[in-house]
């Protein structure tokens, strides 16, 4: 048989006192944290002296890189996004051949790659290949 363990009344009282003391400690820490935040936000009193740190100490470490920039011809700019419009209905299929989505005529899609008579489009983060013959450029 299973032996029962009985907890004394003193154990319950001790656990309750520990819970109350923990709660009070958390309240005290929260109030001190709020006071320190309001002390930072408040303007200094006229009797308080403010010490200003030298600018070299407060400058970020990346400041030297911000001042040196690449020549205009070396800066990379992404190519403009290319969009197409469907001229016929197109069905997207997954790698197993299951129909995933069917687009109506006139649907506007973003092109990620062109390869001869195939266009790769991005739909919901996945790439799908559709025939070029069923598309026209979007203006």
69, part of any domain: no
27, part of any domain: yes
Give the mean model confidence (pLDDT) for residues 5-10. Answer: 86
The CA distance from 29 to 34, in Å, is 9
Other CB atoms within 10 A of residue 11 CB: 10
86, part of any domain: yes
Structure tokens at 79: 């190519």
99, part of any domain: yes
More confident residue, 129 or 78: 129
Helix (H, G, I), strand (E, B) or coil at 129: strand
57, part of any domain: no
Tens digit of each residue's pLDDT (9 = 90 or more) over 8-31: 889 899 999 999 999 999 998 888
127, part of any domain: yes
pTM: predicted TM-score of the whole model, two decimal places: 0.41
Average pLDDT, the chain: 79
67, part of any domain: no
What's the domain range around 37?
7-43
Task: For residue 111, give the DSSP letter.
Answer: E
Q: Give the CATH number, domain containing residue 115.
A: 2.30.30.40
Domain count, the chain: 2
87, part of any domain: yes
């Amino acid at each position: 048989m299973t032996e029962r363990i009985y907890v004394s009344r003193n154990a319950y009282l001790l656990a309750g006192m520990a819970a109350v003391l923990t709660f009070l400690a958390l309240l005290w820490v929260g109030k001190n944290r709020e006071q320190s935040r309001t002390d930072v936000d408040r303007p200094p009193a006229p009797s308080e002296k403010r010490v200003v740190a030298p600018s070299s100490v407060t400058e970020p470490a990346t400041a030297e890189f911000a001042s040196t920039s690449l020549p205009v011809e070396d800066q990379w700019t992404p190519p403009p996004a290319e969009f197409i419009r469907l001229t016929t209905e197109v069905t997207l299929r997954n790698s197993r051949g299951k129909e995933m989505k069917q687009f109506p005529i006139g649907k506007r899609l973003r092109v990620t790659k062109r390869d001869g008579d195939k266009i790769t489009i991005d739909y919901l983060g996945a790439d799908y290949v559709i025939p070029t013959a069923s598309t026209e450029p979007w203006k």
